[in-house]
Amino acid sequence: MKTTEDAQTRRASVGNCSGCRHRRDLLAEGRCTPGDVCVRAMSGRQIERFFRVNPALADDYAGDSFWERRAIAARYLSQKKLIPLIQDPDEVVRRVLAYRLPIEALDALISDPDREVRVTVADRLPPDRVECLATDPDYLVRQYVARRLAPGRLFRMIRDPDRQVRVTVAERLPIESLGLMRDDAEPEVRLKVAERIRSEEVGGLIADPDWRVRARLAERLPLETLGPLGEDTDPDVRAIVEDRLAHAEPPPQP
């Protein structure tokens, strides 16, 4: 059985030159090689090598019946041939387009059913246009939006349903607005808030139920505001406060 499968694989990986239109020119010129550099083989590696050697021929395969041949050809297609492939039924082809289309043509892929296509679109769109994907149903797409959206436009994402998206928002939201995320349900989000929030806006974070949040505050709050944390229930938090106080420079003498 194994021998039969191997033989079938070998046959599929060697294209049939008898019916290939390139046999009289490219084959004779050494620009294609059966079993190695071949557009007819059912082998992505051989097809890739073929278009690498003969990039000008990619346009001829934009409408090929084999999805992998279309996807690889799309890497080498001229710009005028890319647009018609936006409606290609195979997501691998459209993923290539998402990388290669001009920025102004990416709107056509904003609602693509494939997540990877939309992720690439979110990664390439200018910051002033990426907001259209802020409500995408997939958290990973929204994660890219949260990384690239202008900080002043992140308000709409502070209640995102995904924890990691909100962590990214807390990392980039303007400092003066971090109080809006102070009561987030996830400790990872509150930890990011505690790293950046202004001392006068700490509020309830000083008694946060997660010791890591309190420890982060103990590391960065002004010494004169550390009082409650010096009596914290967690020994690590208290140790941070004690260490800071022990190494604090004495106030200048009047």
Would you list the domain boundaries of the chain? 23-115
Instruction: Identify whether the C-beta of residue 228 lies closer than 8 Å to the C-beta of residue 221.
Output: no
If pLDDT is split at 50, 70 and 90, which confidence band does 251 have? low
Residue range 23-115 in CATH 3.90.950.10 = no
| Dihedral sign (CA 44, 47, 49, 52) | negative
Q: Under DSSP, is residue 16 helix (H, G, I), strand (E, B) or coil?
A: coil
Q: Which residue has the higher pLDDT, 253 or 128?
A: 128
The mean pLDDT value of the chain amounts to 89
| Average pLDDT value for residue range 6-10 | 42
Report pLDDT digits (tens) over 123-165: 999 999 999 999 999 999 999 999 999 999 999 999 999 999 9
85-117 per-residue burial string, b: 16 or more CB within 10 A, e: under 16: bbebeebbbbbbbbebbeeeebeebbebebebb
The Cα–Cα gap between 135 and 141 comes to 9
pLDDT value of position 81: 86
The pair of structure tokens assigned to 225 is: 């505001």
Which residues lie below 8 Å from residue 37, measured CB to CB, with a gap of 6+?
Answer: 31, 46, 49, 50, 53
pLDDT value of position 15: 57
Report pLDDT digits (tens) over 42-66: 889 999 999 999 999 999 999 899 9
